[in-house]
Structure 1
Amino acid sequence: MSQPTMSILPEENTAVTLQEFPLSAIYVADNYRSTMSREGLEALADSIKAGGLIQPVTVRPLDEPIKGCTHALVAGFRRHAASELAGLPTILATVRRMTAQTAEAIRLAENIVRENPHPADEAVAVGKLAAENMTTDEICAYLGKSAYWVTQRRAISGLLAEWLTDLRQDKLTLSAAEELSRWPLDVQQRCLSVRHPKQVTSDWSITNFVRRESQVLGSAPWPLDDATVFPAAGACTHCPKRSSCNVLLFSDMADDNKDHCLDSVCWQTKLTNQVERVFNEQKELAGDATVVRLSSRWSDAPAGSLKSDKYQETKAKKGSVVGVYVDGSKAAKVVRVTLTQEAVKAVASGKTELSQGEKNRETRQKRLLKEAGKRVLADRSYHALQGGTDEAKQGRVQVLAAVVAESLMQGRNIDLLTLAELSRTWGWEPVGKKGPDTKGVPYREWVVKQVLKYAPTEALLTQLLLFSVTHRGLSNEWTDYQQTAASLVGTPQVREGLTEAAQELFEREYDPRTLRPRKESAAGAGTTPELDAEDDDLAHAEAEQEEVTAQAA
């Protein structure tokens, strides 16, 4: 017998009215949410005082008054508490007649079966309010949110369309969106150009990228109010791409009481222009005397500059020349330096070619840096694949699929006998005598698709990897991968009766006299696909030729 169900809707033909009720006339029963954030209630109270109560509470008439109250609160406990906190005498309420049991069900549904809006939708809504010329304080009062929350959502509404789409599709985490939205659109575009189109963006990668964009303005070697250093950008003091232009969003940078430039490209352009300006000024002052460009690096110095081992700073004018730094923390700084003999010759001849020893050292340094980069990338990739998140699981599946495909192919095509075994055991697409029909898809891509199609999970991919290690290269007579696999397994039973089992399989599939393949039975006996008529005739002819050759010998 089925159990009766309870409707949480009010009884039919029951009048529903909307009216202002004195707060003192509403009985408030115990709410299952025993605690409410004081800060949240205060924000909601401010919102109600500023814009009124947008959504009325729900009350029901009592059959008998309780503590002098004629109606009981059904839904809207926070709104009721906030109205009391705001000191309002009345509250707008919807009156519905219902039983206590129905009221409890509605109260539960209102709080549990409620879905908060997506952060992207919140951001767009705040952006629209700001577009209506509402100030941050007004939006805070209207929504009952903090100034930081409103400022953050407003910044997110200004994200590049591609990043906002990623956030809406949960490809970009909220914390990563909050970090990225602080930065100028130029920075967002550069970050977009290097992110993988299918890769879920992590908080760490976004933070790591954008933090390289920041430069302390106080360290600039040009006057911050000088608009001529880079006319297209103007003076730094009037540039909106500064952390001081939004103290709330860049409160972490305000701790050191230093203003930061938020656009590394603009910074580097101004730095380059300032270096050239200072160098040309020194050339005019020096007349015929030598002025050189200095690099703070000992390798990979900018073209036309001297590396750090080619000069030595000095205060003496005798035997020294004027130098202008072109990079590093001393960029655009003017100093006097003494040059090595090699540097003097290079400056005099205008040639800055490296010696063979220097070239060898730079080549070695590049190789070591590349190795270091590979190690860092490998470590980051490994850690990104750990954990139980959906992104990590999907990443592991993709990596395992590539490993399985590489194991099967060994850098080349999969041999036909192995493909036949994959078709028989794993259900791969049937393969003809000329190989698989990839339908124009590159061979490696076709293999990866087959792997993911028939082994879509980590568990199945692991099984397929073991299958690959033990079955690859079945048609390759020069390399016996199976012996290697058997030695790795280490189980003695793997080799027991191996000769007899091989003879039995051979006789089941081939005629020992003619070496012609036997026809497979309807029950599917045998482990390899039946050869077509052309292959059958060829095998028969080869067997006869070998027999004649043997007799002649």
Structure 2
Amino acid sequence: MNTQTLSQAAQPVTLLTIPLSAIYLADNYRSSIDPVGLKSLAESIRTGGLIQPVAVRPLAVPFEGYEYALVAGFRRFAAHELGQLPTILATVRDMTDQEAQMYRLVENILRENPHPADEAVAVGKLSREGMNTEEIAAYLGQTARWVTQRRAISELLPEWLTDLRQDKLTLGAAEELSRWPESVQRRCLDNRSQYVVNESTVKNWVAREKQALSSAPWPLDDAALYENAGACTGCPKRSSCSVMLFAELAEEGKDTCLDSACWNTKMGRRIEQVLAEQKELAGEAPVVRLSTKYYEAPAGAVKPDKYEVSKRKKGTVVGVYVDGASAATVVRVLLAQETTKALESGKVELSQGEKNRETRQKRLLKEAGKRVLAERCYHALQLSTDEAKQGRVRVLAKLVAESLMQGRVIDLLTLAELTRTWGWPLAGKNGPDTKGLPYREWVEAQVLLTAPTEALLTQLLLFSVTHRGLGSEWNDNQKTAASLVGNPQVQEGLDEATQALFEREYDPRTLRARKVPLVEVTQLVPADADEQPGEQCAQAA
């Protein structure tokens, strides 16, 4: 494209005062206008007039009363609308769509530096319309590097471009991020936080992403190693494909891989290739994996303190490095005695990191198994079959028994209340007569005897929760239960009722228990015996 055809001086210009209603607002690459600044501008125009006219172009086909399209001066146009000014001073020039976009960008950059995100979007549009870097740079009076950076920023992931526009990402950070492939930008999204991201932060994120292609232990033209990625020589995720953005690497003559995920995949496959080749050559002799790490060594790899690299063949074995700068390199090593024994027995010593991982995996698997079992039990109990109903009764009975016992035994005061309300057998000073049964089995039997249905078991469970710990001097469970009920009448007159109950059961002078029957059996609510406690109570009476 010849930039001379874009010369504004070559186009005839007319200065006119035009009604706002005759001007069509085309797309504006600026995304927002500061309302405070706009109000100030409107007041300035009202009092002193418009100093810098807006730019418009005639519409080839007028429509709906519009005769012109606004090219530049959206903020000034908005100020006229805010100030309720019916007309605006404008320069009229014939322009193509591309010329209009160029004029708009140049006019805004020279008059008032727009936001870098808006610059990037504009440069991206011009690039997509066919203008190359040199043409855009010449027309804007910017360097080719500036244009390349803005174009790269326009291709950032939407999340990062939004952060830049909202000043959550600095321009330097955006320029650094825009150099990297989309896959790297997406991985960096996991590091976003409430704080502003600056250039040094991004550089720390991507520090491990680049790998010198000269260090690759595989042929760079090998397209079969990782078919999804193809050969490194034709991969666009190399610094040599973005020389302008990676000028520092280009000056050093280094071609660099910019995608660590792809690099690591190829490295892993190459290591396995080398191991397979060496095992085929070694026959029955062992081939060991070697690590350069003393801690967190890869699974099954021998740590550096368990081997020694040797040039001799006798007494040594073949080793292949599986990490570090020497990954996929073949050496001969002299193994420590315990390592040799472990190899002979088929058991390679695990590093502490591997042991920790195994322990954690076992714990997590156990937890996962519990969750699966719990889910299955829960859904099985939710069924409406007779078997499910019986299962619910058994589970509820166990829960009620555990709730009453709190893992040990039922305290005597709670047991007295169970006798008084639910008809449980009288308990002596040393507890109930379990008739030779283990205590837990006796409690479960009494639960099922006095509450044989789901409804009664639910009532008994509520009884257990509200009466828990009556024999404990410092237990606040009753207050907690009362607060959960949320009914103010529950605690209304509590002190008076407590005093009356105390005087009825104890002599206030001697604090000795009055000689009254321990249990006074009463029915809670006369009703169907299958749905309310009482039938067993009457029998006990």
Larger Rg: 2
TM-score of the two chains, using structure 1 as the length reference: 0.47
TM-score of the two chains, using structure 2 as the length reference: 0.48
